Chains A and B, each alone.
Chain A
Amino acid sequence: MAKIIIDNKEYESDESKNLLEACLSLGLDLPYFCWHPELDSIGACRQCAVIKYKDEDDTKGKLVMACLEPVTDKVRISLEVDEAKQFRADNIEALMINHPHDCPVCDEGGECHLQDMTVMSGHNYRRYRFKKRTHTNQYLGPFINHEMNRCIQCYRCVRFYKDYAGGKDLDVFGAHDDIYFGRHEPGTLENEFSGNLVEICPTGVFTDKTLKKHYTRKWDLTNAPSVCHNCGLGCNIIASERYGGIRRILSRYNGDVNGYFLCDRGRFGYEYVNSKKRIQFPFKKQNNSLVQIEKKQAIQEIRKVAEGKKLIGIGSPKASLESNFLLRQWVGAKNFYAGIPETEGKLIQKVIEIVKSGKVNVPSLNEVKSYDAVFILGEDVTNTAPMLALNLRQAVRNTPKEQAAGLNIPVWNDAAVREVVQGNTGPFYIAAAQATKLDEVATQTYRAHPDDVARLGQAVAHAINPELPETDCSKEAGKLAESIAGALLDAKKPLIVAGTSLYSRAIIEAAANIAFALKEKEKDAGLFYVAPEVNSVGLFLISDKFLDQAFENVNQNDDAVLIVLENDLYRRTDKNSVDNFLQDYNDIIVLAYLENATTQHATYVLPAGTFAEADGTVINNEGRAQRFYQVHVPENDVESSWKWLQEIMPVGTAESTIHFENIVYNLVKTFPDLEGIQSVAPPADYRKGTQKIPREPHRYTGRTAMHTNINVSEPKPPEDTDSALSFTMEGYSGIPTAAITPFYWSPGWNSAQAINKYQIEVGGELHGGNSGVRLFDKKNSNIGYFKNITKTFSPQKGEWYALPLYHIFGSDELSAQSPAVNERLPKPYIALNNSDAWEAGVKEGDLLGIVLQGETLKLPVKLNTGLTKGTIGLPKGLKETVGTRFPFWITFKKIKDE
C-alpha cells in the first residue's frame, strides 16, 4: 500500500494500480473514455488529465494522464486545480465538435457515458462553428445498430472486440479526423461477444438492435437482478421491462462470475419471453385441442384430477431449485424424475461427485482468467459455455505477459504489454472431436473421437503421475501427452477444462485424473467442468432418477397423473419414446413457457414463468447457487412454477401455503448439503432502513398515465412478498447488496460505468461481496483416481459414429426462439471427415440422406470441420435434429442430383 496525496488529502492505494484506477476506487469523479477496467490503459482520449507535482514545493506541477501514471508512494496530484479542470473541459469540447448532439433520438441517451463525462467536466458551450464530419453507417446484423457519427474515437470497441474477444471483423479504418470503426464491408458481426459493444461504447455508436425495436429509456425500465438461463455458467444479468415486455438484457457485474461481459446468446436470447407462442393462461384439452380456461377453473379441476392419484413428476434443469423441489415434495421422492436422459444425467452426477469432493479447486468463471496453462478435453467451449471461451482467451496471455513484468512494464499499460507479448500465447492445449474456434490460440490441438480424447487425457495423467495406468497410444499422441504434462507441470496454475457435451464419461474422468495428479504435485491446479443447462447441477442435487426410468415405469393402473415441469420432453429424447410414454397417461399437466411438442399432449397446460416472471435459485457448473428475481408482474396468469404447484396441490398439503423462504428452508432440511442457498440473497423482510429496494429508478415516468386507456385511476402497484425488492420506484436509493441490485446508478453516473461506485475497487469485488454462494467449498469426500481406460475408437466400414456439434445460436432451445438469435441459426448439415467424404465420393454441399428417429432427412455435407475418420457431426438442438440422442451409429446415402 502506498500513501498518495490528492488535492492535499492523504489516501491509501495499491501500488499495482494506476492513478485513474486509484481515484475511481477512492470514489473520486475523474472522467475517462479510453480506459476500461477490463481493457486497461492506452492513454488515447486524454480525458483523465490531472496535475502531478514533483514534491511538496512544486506549485506548478505537470499535466499527466492519470491512467498512464503508476501509483507510487507519496505521489502528489490534483484533480481540482484550474489547469486540470480546464484541460478536461477543453478536451470534451474537442471531442464534441464532431458529435451530432442527437441525444434526444439516441438510444444511449440517459445512460451515456459521454453525457455523464461532459456534465462532469463542466463543458457547456461549443465554440466550434464549422461543418461537422459525417460518416455512413453499416448494417451489422440482427444484434447491433451502428451510428458512426456519434463516435468519439476512444478505440474501446476495437480493443474489446479484436484484442480481448478475438474478433476478426471489426476494425478501425482511416486516419486523422476521419477514423471509422466498423467492418471492412457491411455484414453481420461474427464474434460471439459483439453485444458487449453496447456497454463498452461510451456513446451511442453501437446500440442494442433488439432494444431499438421496443425502445425504452433506461429510467423508464423496471429491472430485476437475474441470472442468465441460456447455459450452465449462470452469468449475472439485469433484465428490464416496460409495458409487460422484456426490453433488454444487460450484464450485471459479478466479479466472481461473468465480470463485465455477456455472450450474445445471453444478451440477445431473451425475446422468447415476449413471443406470441407464450402460454399466458391455463389451457385445457377439449376435443383434441387446447382451449383457454380461467385460472380458478384450472386450479379446481386439476386438484380434482390429482386427488388420491399416484403422481409422477418430471423435473427440469431449466426450472428453479424451488420449483423442482416442490414438485418432488408433492409427488414424492420416488416418483420424481429429473427430466434428463440417463446418458446425460449420469455425467452430470459424475461432475457433481468430483466437484463436490473438493479434491481440487474448481475455479469460478472469472478466476479462469488467472490460470497460466490450459488443457481442454472434448469441449467446444465457444459454443457450449461461451463466456468461458472469453475468459480462456485472457488466460492465454498470462505466461507471455510475464515478460512485460520482467521489463517493469505495469500490467495496466495495455498497449505496451501487448507490444511485448506480440501474438504470443501461453501453453494452451485442446483435444476435441472437431475443430473449435479457440484452436487459433492453442499451442497444439488434437482431434480425435471422444474415447481417444479421454485416452490422451489418461496418458497426460499418467505422464504426471506414473502410478496411474498407462495408455498405449500412438507415438504422436504419446509425445503430445508428454508435452502437455510438461507444460502443465511447468505452470504455476494449470487449468483442466472438460464437460458433458460429448456424452463421454471417460473424458470427465480423465480430466479429473489430470487435475488430481497435478494437485498431488503441489500444483495450484483448477478443474472446470461445463454443465449443459442453467440448473443442471441443481436438479441432480435433489434428484437421482432419469427420464429413462420414468419411461420404464409403465403406468400400470392407467390412473397416475403426470406433471411435467418446464420441460419439452421431445427435446430430451427420441420422439417414439416420448410418444409411448405420454400415451400411457390420461392426465398430463404441463407447466410450460411456450407452446411445444409436449404441451400438445397435455390435458392441462399452465403458464409457467420464465426467468422474467419467476423467482428462484439455480446452481451453476461450479456449484454456485444464485437467485434470480421476477422482473415484473405480467397482466396474465404467468407466474413461478412453484406458485402454480402450490395452487394446484390439494388444500392442506404442508407445502401448499408456505412462503418462498419456507420452501427454501424445507429444501435445506431435506438436503442439508444445500444449506448455503439460504444465504444466497437477503430475506424478503430485509430492508434498508425501513425501505425496500425499488426495481424502478426514481425518475421512472408515466406510471399514472400508462394505464389511462383502461382506467384513469392509477392501479395499486403490485406488491412483492417474495423478496426485498419492490415493483415501484419508491424505496431505498443507495447501493443495495449485490444479490438484489436491480440496476446501476449513482449521482452523475447514468451509464453502465456507474458500476464503479458499486465496487470496493474498480474492477474488483462489489460492496458487501459478489453475490452467489458456492456450495461445495468444503472437502466433502475422498474421491480416488479413475483407473478405467476406454478402448480406442475404431471406425466401422459403412457406418459412422454421430457426434453432436454445438452452436451458440441454435443448440439452446429457448434463446433460439428469440427473433434476433433466430436469424443467426446455422442451416442444418451433416459434417464429414474429409477422407471419409472422399472415400464416399461426396463433396461439400452434396445432399446426404440419413434416417433420424424414423424419418429420412436430406442434409448438405459440410467438410473441414476437423472431425476424425469414422465420425460424423450433426448440429445439436436444431429443429431438424432435435430429440436425437447422441452419440449413435448411423449410415448415410448419397442423394442423386435432381
Chain B
Amino acid sequence: MEKPLTQHIKNDNTWLSLKDYEKTGGYQALRKALKLNPEDVTKEVKESGLKGRGGAGFSTGMKWGFVPLGEDVPTPKYFVVNGDEMEPGSFKDRLLLEGNPHQLLEGMIIGAYAIQAQFAYVFLRWAYHQAARAITRAIEEAYEAGYLGKNIAGSDFQLDASLHVSVGRYMCGEETGLLNALEGKRANPRSKPPFPGVSGLFGKPTVVNNVETLCNVPHIIANGAGWFKSLSKTDEGGTKIYGASGRVKKPGLWELPLGVSLREILQEHAGGMQDDFQFKGVLPGGGSTDFLTGDHMDVTMDYAGVGKAGSRLGTGTLIVLDDKTCPVGMVLNLERFFAQESCGWCTPCREGLPWTAKTLEAIENGKGEMKDLDILNFQTRYMSPGNTYCALAPGAMEPLQSALKYFKEDFEKHIHEHKCPWKKE
C-alpha cells in the first residue's frame, strides 16, 4: 500500500530537513513543474481528481484554473496555505506540518507557479508551535537552496513566502476569514462571489488550499494523474489521512487509500473500542459533520460515499462516541464551541448558535422541556446551508441534526428524567 504523504515522516518528533527531503526525491516535482506551462500543471492536478482536504472537497485543479493568467491580470497574486486546523477532533495537518514541511512547501510552490503567484503565505494556527518552527526553518532552507526567491531552481519563476501565525478563532480557517486575518483585520468571512481567485488577499487573485491538499501535489506532478487516481479504492483519487479519537484502543492517524470502509478504519487501524466501551456513533470528519452509526460500518470513506450516508467526509478524522458518554453532552460541547467561535457577522449564526447551546445546556442539566426539541429542530432548519453568510453555522448544525435523528430517545430521557442519565450523582 502506497503512503506518499507520510511514508518518510519519522516518528521521533523531528522533521525532514531539506537534505533528507531531497534524498527522498524532494523538489524533483517542482523542477519538473517549472518546465511545464502553468496551465499544464493545473491540468495535471485537475485530471488527478484531487479534491480539497480542508473539508469542502472542491476540485483543486478547478480552483487553480479560476485564477486569471497572462499579461494584463491584476498583480501581485497570492497563494495561501491553510494550516489553521481548528476543527474539533481534527489533527491531521499537524502531522504533515511537523513531520515533512518541505513536502508542503513544494506543493505550495508548484501551486503558486500554476497560478503565477508572487507571494505565498503559510497561515498556521497559534497552538502549532512545533509546526511553526518546522515551517520557519524549512522556508529558510528553501530560500538558501533557491526554491524560493528569485529564479527558482534556475527558472524565471520568482516567489516569496512567509509564515503567519494566527491568534485564535476558528473562523480563520474559513478561507475568506483567513484572508481578512492575513490583512490584519477581523476574520469575518467575505462575500462570495467574488471568489478569492478573482479578488482575494488585498483584493488580488488568490488561492487558498489546505495543508494536506498541497502535500499531494508534488506526488501528482512527479508520478502523474493516472498514478494518483490508482491510489484510491474509489474514483476520487489519492490517499487520505484518516484519524480517530475517543474511546478506541489505538487512537491515531493513518494514511490509507481514499475510500476504505468505516469499519476498516475503526476495527483494523483504531483497534476497535476500548474494553468496557461500546460504539454508539461517530462523527466521520471532525466536529461539523453528521453522525454515522453502527448501521453505517460499510460506508466507503470518500466524498461520495459519506455523502450518500448523509454526512460529509470533512477532514476524515473520526470522533468516536461511546456508550458511556452522553450524546447530548457531546453535542452541547460542540455547539458551545461553535457559538463561541462564531464571528458575529450574520444573524442566524450569531444569535442561533448561543440559543442552541443554551437549549442543549438546559436539557443536559435536567431543565429541558419537550418544546426544546422543537427549538433545536428549528435551529437546524434556520441555520441550514445558504441561510447564513458562511459555512460555520450550517456545519455546526450537522452533529445536532443527526444526533436528534439517531439519539432522539436520549434527548427525551433527559427531559423526562430531569437529569442527564449519564451523570452519576
In the complex, A touching B (Cβ < 8 A): yes
Task: Spell out A's residues near B (CB within 8 Å).
Answer: 42-47, 49, 62-64, 68, 87, 90-91, 94-95, 97-98, 127-128, 130, 152-153, 155, 172, 174-179, 403-404, 407-409, 413, 415-416, 419-422
Q: A98-B351, A415-B190, A415-B191 are in contact. Are A90 and B346 (CB under 8 A)?
A: no
B218-233 to A contact mask, C-beta < 8 Å, 1/0: 0000000000000000
Of all chain B residues, which has the CB nearest A171? B186
Chain A residues in 8 Å Cβ range of B388: 46
Kindly list the 10 A-B residue pairs having the minimum CB-CB distance in the complex, ordered from nearest: A94-B351, A420-B203, A179-B344, A176-B342, A130-B358, A177-B354, A46-B347, A419-B203, A176-B344, A90-B382
Chain A residues in 8 Å Cβ range of B355: 94, 97, 128, 130
| Nearest-Cβ distance from residue B342 to partner chain A, whole angstroms | 4
Whether A176 contacts B202 by the Cβ 8 Å rule is no
B352 within 8 Å of A (CB atoms): yes
Determine the main DSSP class of A at the interface with B.
Answer: loop
Whether A91 contacts B347 by the Cβ 8 Å rule is yes
Whether B389 contacts A90 by the Cβ 8 Å rule is no
Segment 353-411 of B: residues with Cβ below 8 Å from A:
353-355, 358-359, 362, 371, 375, 378, 382, 386-389
Whether B199 contacts A91 by the Cβ 8 Å rule is no
Whether B342 contacts A175 by the Cβ 8 Å rule is yes
Given contacts A63-B387, A91-B382, A97-B351, 12 further A-B contacts (CB under 8 A): A64-B386, A87-B387, A94-B355, A98-B351, A127-B371, A175-B342, A176-B344, A177-B353, A409-B193, A416-B194, A420-B203, A422-B203
Of all chain A residues, which has the CB nearest B362? A130
Which of A46, A62, A127 contacts B346 (CB under 8 A)?
A: A46
* Separation of A256 and B355 alpha carbons in the complex (Å): 46
Whether A95 contacts B382 by the Cβ 8 Å rule is no
* Separation of A265 and B399 alpha carbons in the complex (Å): 55
| Nearest-Cβ distance from residue B117 to partner chain A, whole angstroms | 17
B198 within 8 Å of A (CB atoms): yes
13 pairs, A vs B, C-beta closer than 8 Å: A43-B191, A43-B346, A46-B388, A46-B389, A172-B186, A176-B339, A177-B339, A408-B194, A409-B194, A416-B193, A416-B194, A420-B199, A420-B203
B5 within 8 Å of A (CB atoms): no
Chain A residues in 8 Å Cβ range of B350: 153, 176-177, 179
* Separation of A46 and B389 alpha carbons in the complex (Å): 8
B343 within 8 Å of A (CB atoms): yes
* Separation of A877 and B186 alpha carbons in the complex (Å): 43
Interface centre among B194, B341, B345 (most CB of A within 10 A): B345
* Separation of A484 and B347 alpha carbons in the complex (Å): 46
B169 within 8 Å of A (CB atoms): yes
Chain B residues in 8 Å Cβ range of A172: 186
* Separation of A531 and B389 alpha carbons in the complex (Å): 47
Which of B190, B203, B358, B362 contacts A421 (CB under 8 A)?
A: B203
Q: A94-B348, A94-B351, A94-B352 are in contact. Are A44 and B389 (CB under 8 A)?
A: yes
B28 within 8 Å of A (CB atoms): no
| Nearest-Cβ distance from residue B173 to partner chain A, whole angstroms | 15
Whether B348 contacts A178 by the Cβ 8 Å rule is no
B172-191 to A contact mask, C-beta < 8 Å, 1/0: 00000000000000100011
Q: Count A-B pairs with CB separation below 8 Å.
A: 110
Whether A413 contacts B191 by the Cβ 8 Å rule is yes
* Separation of A62 and B382 alpha carbons in the complex (Å): 14
Chain A residues in 8 Å Cβ range of B342: 175-177
Whether A94 contacts B386 by the Cβ 8 Å rule is no
Of all chain B residues, which has the CB nearest A421? B203
Interface centre among B194, B339, B359 (most CB of A within 10 A): B194
| Nearest-Cβ distance from residue B122 to partner chain A, whole angstroms | 22
Of all chain A residues, which has the CB nearest B369? A129
Q: A94-B351, A409-B199, A421-B203 are in contact. Are A45 and B346 (CB under 8 A)?
A: yes
Chain A residues in 8 Å Cβ range of B169: 175
* Separation of A87 and B387 alpha carbons in the complex (Å): 9
Chain A residues in 8 Å Cβ range of B386: 62-64
Of all chain A residues, which has the CB nearest B179? A419
* Separation of A241 and B389 alpha carbons in the complex (Å): 43
* Separation of A687 and B358 alpha carbons in the complex (Å): 59
Whether A416 contacts B191 by the Cβ 8 Å rule is yes
Interface centre among A43, A177, A413 (most CB of B within 10 A): A177
Which of A98, A127, A178, A419 contacts B190 (CB under 8 A)?
A: A419
Q: A44-B389, A63-B386, A87-B387 are in contact. Are A419 and B347 (CB under 8 A)?
A: no
* Separation of A416 and B198 alpha carbons in the complex (Å): 11
| Nearest-Cβ distance from residue B376 to partner chain A, whole angstroms | 11
* Separation of A44 and B348 alpha carbons in the complex (Å): 10
Whether A45 contacts B347 by the Cβ 8 Å rule is yes
Whether A90 contacts B378 by the Cβ 8 Å rule is yes
* Separation of A178 and B354 alpha carbons in the complex (Å): 10
Chain A residues in 8 Å Cβ range of B341: 176
* Separation of A419 and B185 alpha carbons in the complex (Å): 12
B340 within 8 Å of A (CB atoms): yes
Whether A407 contacts B198 by the Cβ 8 Å rule is yes
Chain A residues in 8 Å Cβ range of B343: 175-176
Chain A residues in 8 Å Cβ range of B389: 43-44, 46
| Nearest-Cβ distance from residue A372 to partner chain B, whole angstroms | 19
| Nearest-Cβ distance from residue A852 to partner chain B, whole angstroms | 49
Chain A residues in 8 Å Cβ range of B191: 42-43, 68, 413, 415-416
| Nearest-Cβ distance from residue A123 to partner chain B, whole angstroms | 12
| Nearest-Cβ distance from residue A351 to partner chain B, whole angstroms | 41
* Separation of A91 and B351 alpha carbons in the complex (Å): 9
* Separation of A98 and B353 alpha carbons in the complex (Å): 13
Whether B387 contacts A49 by the Cβ 8 Å rule is yes
* Separation of A90 and B374 alpha carbons in the complex (Å): 13
| Nearest-Cβ distance from residue B123 to partner chain A, whole angstroms | 17
* Separation of A87 and B348 alpha carbons in the complex (Å): 10
| Nearest-Cβ distance from residue A400 to partner chain B, whole angstroms | 9
* Separation of A432 and B378 alpha carbons in the complex (Å): 61
B139-153 to A contact mask, C-beta < 8 Å, 1/0: 000000000000000
| Nearest-Cβ distance from residue A203 to partner chain B, whole angstroms | 14
| Nearest-Cβ distance from residue A540 to partner chain B, whole angstroms | 48
Segment 121-136 of B: residues with Cβ below 8 Å from A:
none
Q: A127-B375, A409-B194 are in contact. Are A95 and B346 (CB under 8 A)?
A: no
| Nearest-Cβ distance from residue B387 to partner chain A, whole angstroms | 6
* Separation of A63 and B348 alpha carbons in the complex (Å): 14
| Nearest-Cβ distance from residue A75 to partner chain B, whole angstroms | 16
Whether B375 contacts A407 by the Cβ 8 Å rule is no
Whether B387 contacts A407 by the Cβ 8 Å rule is no
* Separation of A273 and B300 alpha carbons in the complex (Å): 79
Interface centre among A43, A172, A421 (most CB of B within 10 A): A43
Interface centre among A94, A128, A403, A421 (most CB of B within 10 A): A94
Whether A175 contacts B347 by the Cβ 8 Å rule is no
Whether B344 contacts A177 by the Cβ 8 Å rule is yes
| Nearest-Cβ distance from residue A551 to partner chain B, whole angstroms | 60
* Separation of A821 and B186 alpha carbons in the complex (Å): 35
Whether A153 contacts B199 by the Cβ 8 Å rule is no
Interface centre among B193, B342, B371, B375 (most CB of A within 10 A): B193
Chain A residues in 8 Å Cβ range of B352: 94
Which of B198, B344, B358 contacts A175 (CB under 8 A)?
A: B344
Whether A153 contacts B190 by the Cβ 8 Å rule is no
* Separation of A91 and B386 alpha carbons in the complex (Å): 14
Whether B198 contacts A153 by the Cβ 8 Å rule is no
* Separation of A87 and B358 alpha carbons in the complex (Å): 21
| Nearest-Cβ distance from residue A270 to partner chain B, whole angstroms | 36
Chain A residues in 8 Å Cβ range of B74: 403, 407
Whether B194 contacts A44 by the Cβ 8 Å rule is no
Chain B residues in 8 Å Cβ range of A42: 191
* Separation of A152 and B359 alpha carbons in the complex (Å): 21
Chain B residues in 8 Å Cβ range of A95: 347, 351
Whether B340 contacts A176 by the Cβ 8 Å rule is yes
* Separation of A558 and B82 alpha carbons in the complex (Å): 90
* Separation of A420 and B329 alpha carbons in the complex (Å): 44
| Nearest-Cβ distance from residue B145 to partner chain A, whole angstroms | 34
Chain B residues in 8 Å Cβ range of A178: 344
Whether A422 contacts B198 by the Cβ 8 Å rule is no
